Amino acid sequence: MATEKRVRLNPEARRAQLIELGVEMLATRTLDELSVEDIAQQAGISRGLLFHYFSSKQEFHVEVARAAAQELLRRTEPDAGLAPVASLHASLSAFVDYVEENPDNYTSLVRGAASGDAEMRAIFDQTRASMAGRVIAIVADTGVSMGPRAELAVHGWIAFVEACVIGWLGSRAFGREQLLDLLTKALPAVVMASSDEAVGSFVAILAADTPIAGS
């Protein structure tokens, strides 16, 4: 069987190529199933040479997870040209699309965070914090200024979204638009637990801008 011709790349470009190949392979396997041998073969290099660019398999996995998280954030970047609630809905829709298209990829990120590995946990926490920060900014765009309790509630809502999307993918018990409706309307329901006066304003804005989907 013919082998791919080896292409000479500078170290930085080769490292980036290997990480990109790792992210691509996560579409069909988990991080634990990501084979160094398969990556090296796809890149046209020896297994040993891969460790010239990464000190260990663990470092390679961490960098692949970091790149996957960055891709998730890129795909779910809110559209500043939309009204706040529409921007939230579009970002949630993009998140559902990403997890639906890359279930093993996303599962790897979640499991890596739960594994106890400090670096993997840091990647997951930073990703979740970035997503929560975006939501807080969207709410602020409505003219609402949330306090620390409401901001904490948003971080909890992000975890709720993650759990709901993963659960929905496993059951498909109702439609995709109903899922998005649930997630969107859950945000004010969660932050209402805070004592911030601003929350009531956001609930009114959300209720006015988002129609209730059929059950």
Q: Is the pTM of this model over 0.85?
A: no
Tell me the average pLDDT across 82-91: 90
Looking at residue 197, what is its pLDDT?
Answer: 54
User: Residue 84 — very low, low, confident or very high, per pLDDT cuts 50/70/90?
Assistant: confident
31 contacts 111 by C-beta, under 8 angstroms: yes
pLDDT at residue 111 is higher than 70: no
Weakest mean pLDDT among 88-92, 118-122, 186-190: 186-190
Percentage of residues in the chain having pLDDT higher than 90: 38
Tell me the average pLDDT across 155-175: 92
Weakest mean pLDDT among 5-9, 163-167, 191-195: 5-9
Q: Tell me the average pLDDT of the chain.
A: 83
164 contacts 182 by C-beta, under 8 angstroms: yes
- Helix axis angle, 148-171 relative to 103-114, nearest 10°? 130
pLDDT at residue 3 is higher than 50: no
The Cα–Cα gap between 28 and 101 comes to 10
From residue 108, alpha-carbon distances to 12, 31, 69 in Å are 25, 5, 10
pLDDT in tens, 11-45: 888 899 999 999 988 878 888 888 888 898 888 88
Tell me the average pLDDT across 68-80: 93
pLDDT at residue 214 is higher than 50: no
Looking at residue 180, what is its pLDDT?
Answer: 94
The C-alpha angle 182, 138, 172, rounded to 5 degrees, equals: 20
Percentage of residues in the chain having pLDDT higher than 70: 82
From residue 23, alpha-carbon distances to 10, 35, 60 in Å are 20, 12, 11
The Cα–Cα gap between 102 and 94 comes to 12
pLDDT at residue 168 is higher than 90: yes
Instruction: Give every CB contact of residue 15 below 8 A, 6+ residues apart in sequence.
Output: 53, 54
